[in-house]
Amino acid sequence: MSDEERKSMDPAPEETPDLESGGGVAPGDTPPDTPQTSGLSHEQPNRTKHFPAGGVGAFLGVGLLVIAMLVIIVGLIVMVL
C-alpha cells in the first residue's frame, strides 16, 4: 500500500470537524471512522484433505538427514572408543 493510499484512507485531522489541534476529540464527540477495505475479491478454493506431496518429500528428506547424522555420530563414537 502506498503512502498516498494510506493517507487517503485515514481522516485528515485538519479537514475533519470536531478534532482538536492535537488530533484528539472533545469529550462527548465521536472520532471519525477509517474506511474499511477488507474482504475477498473472489471465492477462495476449497482446502484439500490430503497432505501435499511437497510436505511428504520434505518430511522424508529431513528424516533421511537425521538418520544419516545419527549414523555418523555413532560411527565417530565407535571410532574413538
Place of cell 475477498: 40
- Greater confidence (3 vs 68) lies with 68
What does the pLDDT read at residue 42?
Answer: 74
Domain extent, residue 25, equals 1-78
Q: How far apart are CA 55 and CA 16, in angstroms?
A: 52
Contact at 8 Å (CB) between 37 and 9? Answer: yes
Q: How far apart are CA 11 and CA 26, in angstroms?
A: 16
Question: How many structural domains are present in the chain?
Answer: 1
Tell me the three cell numbers of residue 79: 571410532
What does the pLDDT read at residue 26?
Answer: 73
What does the pLDDT read at residue 13?
Answer: 62
What does the pLDDT read at residue 52?
Answer: 84
Residue 9: pLDDT over 80: no
> Amino acid identity, residue 10?
D
Tell me the three cell numbers of residue 20: 482538536
Tell me the three cell numbers of residue 80: 574413538
What does the pLDDT read at residue 49?
Answer: 75
pTM of the model: 0.41
